[in-house]
Structure 1
């Protein structure tokens, strides 16, 4: 799962630039004003960020950002793209355009899609860490997810036990509330269901019976007409017992025709074939006459049975009008009524037992929830210490990170009958806590930026650059590789000297298990790159534009030298650049 290519057209100072990215650590450098931030802005657009028409390059009708992602068909991002109508068979193509007039469009896998779909897909692909993009730290649920990830199998097992207990308890609470909403309401419903079932059972209908009765009624009503028609047809075919002189039968006429053709048919095959067809007609006529005779004999005029059918139809129709247009619908409704009646028609003993089992499940939620809290608390202490150690190598040696894990306490008066039981559980110390599907706890990552400073939520206690470094430290300590690509902007703000080398080394460490994209102005960071991209601006005297090139060898040394000393061909800066690259090569080896 790798972001392979980004193409940016008409965005800010960038006229047309293409970034070919690699696995590992990708760094983007360039002079101030060259447009490095436009690369991050373009990536943000590609991931569903809000569009600003002011970002469109002057004189350009629209800005367009394209991204190619290598992602397996089973990955959540590919699945979401397929749901939106896109094609992710051979990777995923994402496109975002912003018109100079402000209108924004998105395409996913070759199909137009809402911009919100880009954002949904982006969350599965890229985590952007910059001053304006720390959504993983602004979202309280993400604090908990980071902590649970760091807790490994111990927290995962505790959470699984809690979730099973919670789901069983909530199902039992819902059933209890349904059965005890009001006794009178339930009694009315039980009475209605029983009455309906008794009425349906009394008619004892069979599926499709109304159609069979309708056909039988029609036959019995017109029995005399049916019998007379059959016998008249029979007489026309084979003749009656007392035929008149001018009433020849069909079979007699066919016999006459056959006799006429008989001698001559021996002399011509075509006529013989016609004689054969005539014989078939004679056989069919005889068979049909026999069937008509049998039918006419079987038809009976049964007034008593006709009355029975009419009464049965009347009884059945009366019930069908109330419970369905057909016996099929009525019998299906009866099954649903029976199921509902079995659910709500319980005895007082059954209801008491349900209350006891619900309370037992409630206690199980409290027990497993407390175990999950304990596992998270132990993990929080370890994560806080580990992240604090990481920050000491990231120019934040005075900072201290802690992770607060605290249940959602509620006052005792919140418990009030079955409604209260549905809302809270009671721990061993007697205090009540409000459970949620993920546990009893609120989790918050906190930062004390300086000694003696109070610990506050990390998003309020850190600057943009510090937030990026805190996030880097958290990803190193808590990350599990589920996010394929990380983007860091401003991560080097306020960093220099040996701390810059530590920062580069830790970015390279993260890049061993994920793709990392970093915008930096520090050569010490850029030296660790697996792929080094430079944003360069050019001008024709009137219009300035920027493009992106990958640098290697001497070109890369010159760019690092420029970053170190401001002059690309300074011998001292070049030597320093080579030392940095050598240091990176030694670490990689």
Structure 2
């Protein structure tokens, strides 16, 4: 039922709010007062065609809002789109800009105009010329009968619809698994091939980076040795012990001894002598470390050859499965999970077939209950309608319902 209708900037109507009461509400007025616009506003809420000429002159947009209650016929449709229902009432809105852009909202959720029409057509009807044609629609006839059957029948119908949709979803998933079995098998073969190739190489995290650094060092061994020899000579001086070439260590040693002698004669130089001792110790340690580094700089062509071969193996993986070895290992992890999912396809088909069978049984049980309740509702509705028709001077008019299961 329409509880409230709000109109903003529609034709001659700037702002208007209507709250129909139970029973009949009559709207009257002179020609041009806006009666047709009221009907047009309701038509827009029901998904009717919109035209930018309907927007009030001087306004940038028109807004029509309606609040409805008694939502039993549209509960499933509202749940499907995530519409919000407050205090058992639904707010729907239709907006139309001066440029002709139309938007619809159902329970705070933007929706296509077709969805708006689908939902609101169950909540309100405009009776005009040819509108009675809807009564010839089997779907509409069934809805009228279900509504006449009361809450118990409507609840069963909603249960049936939910179970029916769930069954169709499971059936679609099952059909997809069966029809794409060969594709899954091919994908599984490719994934397994990749995993086997990676396992054969057995890469370690960060291995490509570590080997790259070591290869660069071995390839530059001659340059490193030359530079290290120069550094060692600068620190330690001539290897023959030439007094004219003492190196930095020897020069610091001379400075330390002289500052020590100065400190014996002048206490103010004590700090300088101490600093010289510290610096001399550091220089000795540095010279020893450089000499050790130089001694370890041996060319190792066999090691370089082994590293080159290993890097070639790793490169064969990074060309296919990732830019780095860490990426390759991540691909392998994802592929393992995907392969596990593919291997469970047959099990999933069996599970889906079981669930579908259970839902088929449930649908049959609910369907039988619906048939019984619809039969009772049909008898009550026919009697009530015939009573009304008799009061309209049609005593021999009869209304009958034929309930026939659909084979689909």
Distance 2:275 2:222 in 1: 35
Change (3 A) 1:142 1:401: closer
Q: Does 1:377 align with 2:371?
A: yes
Q: Does 1:214 align with 2:216?
A: no
The aligned runs of 1:35-184 (5 Å cut-off) are 35-45=34-44, 49-53=48-52, 55=54, 60-61=57-58, 64-66=61-63, 96-99=95-98, 103-104=100-101, 106=103, 127-131=123-127, 140=139, 147=146, 151=153, 154=156, 167-168=169-170, 170-179=172-181
| RMSD, aligned CA | 5.8
Change (3 A) 1:117 1:166: closer
Shift in Å at residue 233 of structure 1?
3.6
Distance 2:215 2:186 in 1: 40
Distance 1:176 1:304 in 2: 55
Deviation string 1:136-156 (CA, Å, 9 cap, x unpaired) is 987959967994975355555
**Is 1:251–1:285's contact at 8 Å kept on the other side of the alignment?**
no
Distance 1:245 1:146 in 2: 118
Unaligned runs of 5+ in 2: 69-77, 85-89, 392-396
The answer for the alignment partner of 2:309 in structure 1 is: 311
**Is 2:8–2:63's contact at 8 Å kept on the other side of the alignment?**
yes
Distance 1:108 1:364 in 2: 37
Shift in Å at residue 321 of structure 1?
2.8
**Is 1:387–1:401's contact at 8 Å kept on the other side of the alignment?**
no
Deviation string 1:48-102 (CA, Å, 9 cap, x unpaired) is 6422355456xx355843357899xxx9799779xxxxxxxxx999673453xx6
> Which protein is richer in helix relative to its size?
2
Q: Report SS of the residue matched to 1:129.
A: coil
Change (3 A) 1:281 1:123: farther
310-319 or 25-34, larger mean C-alpha shift: 25-34
The answer for the alignment partner of 1:226 in structure 2 is: 224
**Is 2:50–2:102's contact at 8 Å kept on the other side of the alignment?**
no
**Is 1:46–1:65's contact at 8 Å kept on the other side of the alignment?**
no
Shift in Å at residue 292 of structure 1?
4.5
Shift in Å at residue 379 of structure 1?
3.5
The aligned runs of 1:49-448 (5 Å cut-off) are 49-53=48-52, 55=54, 60-61=57-58, 64-66=61-63, 96-99=95-98, 103-104=100-101, 106=103, 127-131=123-127, 140=139, 147=146, 151=153, 154=156, 167-168=169-170, 170-179=172-181, 192=190, 194-230=192-228, 232-233=230-231, 236=234, 242=241, 245=244, 248-249=247-248, 252=251, 256=255, 292=290, 295-335=293-333, 338=336, 363-385=357-379, 387-388=381-382, 400=399, 402=401, 404=403, 406-407=405-406, 409=407, 434=408
Task: Give the structure, 1 or 2, with the largest relative contact order (CA under 8 Å, sep 6 or more).
Answer: 1
Distance 1:281 1:63 in 2: 83
Shift in Å at residue 307 of structure 1?
0.9
**Is 2:45–2:116's contact at 8 Å kept on the other side of the alignment?**
no
Unaligned runs of 5+ in 1: 82-90, 410-433, 435-589
Q: Report SS of the residue matched to 2:180.
A: helix
Distance 2:229 2:403 in 1: 97
Change (3 A) 1:357 1:5: closer
Q: Report SS of the residue matched to 1:217.
A: helix
The answer for the alignment partner of 1:581 in structure 2 is: none
Q: Of the two, which has the highest radius of gyration?
A: 2
The answer for the alignment partner of 2:6 in structure 1 is: 6
Shift in Å at residue 204 of structure 1?
1.8
Q: How many residues align?
A: 373
Distance 2:35 2:171 in 1: 53
Q: Report SS of the residue matched to 1:29.
A: coil
Distance 1:187 1:79 in 2: 38
Distance 2:353 2:79 in 1: 39
TM-score (norm 2): 0.62
**Is 1:68–1:94's contact at 8 Å kept on the other side of the alignment?**
yes
